[in-house]
Amino acid sequence: MDHLNTGTKLLPVSRGYYFIPGGKGQRLPLPLCISGQHKSVFHDLFCSIANSPLQSLTFLYPSLYLSVGDLVCLGDCVRRSKHLTRLKLPNIKSIESYMPILLAVGGSNAIQTLRIDSNTVSVWDKAFQLAVTSLRHNSTLRTLSLAHWTFDLQTQLHPSHTLSRTLDLRLAGQTSGNTVFTRPPHPLQTNRPQPDPVYF
């Protein structure tokens, strides 16, 4: 079953395609890049980033050159990286394309800032539930920006309140379509100087 709508068939041996948060038996689809099936110039790049000390990654106009398969590969990179703390990936056109990143954050032990602003994303119930469930199991995220997202939910849940309560994040701003959540800094977090970001 292709949970991320990538067109990639799930191999029976790919048990890592799922992760079980909290050991409670609840399975979430995992962005897993299968090198034999991902034929893209970005594959080697994202694999290298996952094993590098790079801390900040910013994409400019990613919808012009990243396919859904590339985004699954990037999600795999985010999940595996031990150093990538900041990711800026604006203006992807759909929630389905952002889903590999949102699911990857649930398995990341490094990411602190995620900015995925978009004017065209419309979130439906199932995608919202998957994203919240995944993000709930991340303990490092400090800032989440969903500027200009539209939430088309059939349930009575209010997206901002649900995200704030579920993720223990403070709603830092919600003006002119900008929705930004922040967490208080961890007591052990130091104020080390941040390196220059990498732009695409």
Whether 37 maps to a domain, the answer reads: yes
List the beta strands (DSSP E) in the chain: 18-19, 28-29, 56-58, 86-88, 113-115, 122-123, 143-145, 150-151, 170-175, 178-182, 198-199
Which residues does residue 198 pair with via DSSP β-bridges, in sequence order? 57
Of 94, 85, 82, 152, the closest CA to residue 118 belongs to 94
* Burial zone of 200 (CB within 10 Å; 0-12 exposed, 13-18 middle, 19+ buried): middle
Secondary structure of residue 171 in the 3-state scheme: strand
Helix (H) or strand (E) holding 46: helix 41-50
pTM equals 0.75
CATH number for the domain including 31? 3.80.10.10
- Taking only the tens place, the pLDDT of each residue in 118-132 is 999 999 888 888 888
- Residue 21 pLDDT > 60, yes or no? no
Whether 142 maps to a domain, the answer reads: yes
Whether 57 maps to a domain, the answer reads: yes
The residue range of the domain holding 159 is: 18-187
Whether 68 maps to a domain, the answer reads: yes
> What is the maximal distance between C-alpha atoms in the chain?
47
- Taking only the tens place, the pLDDT of each residue in 27-50 is 566 788 877 778 888 999 999 999
Of 87, 95, 103, 99, the closest CA to residue 28 belongs to 103
Whether 197 maps to a domain, the answer reads: no
What percent of the chain is predicted at pLDDT more than 90? Answer: 42
- The pair phi, psi for residue 180, each rounded to 5°, is -130, 130
Whether 196 maps to a domain, the answer reads: no
pLDDT number for residue 25: 47
Query: Under a CB-based contact definition with an 8 Å cutoff, are residues 54 and 82 in contact?
Result: no
Whether 151 maps to a domain, the answer reads: yes
Whether 198 maps to a domain, the answer reads: no
Q: Kindly give the interhelix angle for 68-80 and 41-50, rounded to the nearest 10 degrees.
A: 10
Q: How many domains does the chain have?
A: 1
